[in-house]
Amino acid sequence: MSVVEQYVRAHILTDADLPDQDDGAIPVVLRYDPDHDPRRVCVALPGRGGASGVREWTFSRALLEQGLRAPAGTGDVRVWPCGRVQSVVEFHSPHGCSVVQFETKALMRFLRRTYTAPAQPVAH
């Protein structure tokens, strides 16, 4: 199995549906499964109610990469750099908008790992 999963802490900038944290930091799971879809990544954010409230967004890996250099995306997911060391990912859903700030290094490390993850050979 060649799934890449990385746990990071990020800061929530806005969203009433996310759990209350003293410092605004939330645990986030970044996931890439090249066997399922080699062009997409998944970001899982906790919601109220613990693990049962986890919300996941799956979107283009290229969007994440582009957004680390310049504002990118339309619709449900938007990504942009925020200063020299931070990046922002904005998620839109019928329940509201989650604006999450990450350390750019963490996202870059995750992307590097996705490009080096070997895809499983297809059985014939």
What is the C-alpha separation between 5 and 12, in angstroms, rounded? 20
Residue 122 has what pLDDT? 54
What is the C-alpha separation between 70 and 95, in angstroms, rounded? 27
What is the C-alpha separation between 102 and 21, in angstroms, rounded? 16
pTM over 0.85: no
Residue 19 has what pLDDT? 53
Segments in the chain below pLDDT 70: 1, 14-24, 48-53, 119-124
- H-type alpha helices, 29-101: 61-67
Q: Chain-centre distance of CA 42, in angstroms?
A: 6
Contacts for 49 with CB less than 8 Å, ≥ 6 apart: none
Residue 16 has what pLDDT? 53
Residue 48 has what pLDDT? 57
Neighbours of 31 (CB within 10 A): 19
Rg (CA), the chain: 15
Residue 121 has what pLDDT? 58
Contacts for 119 with CB less than 8 Å, ≥ 6 apart: 2, 34, 35, 38
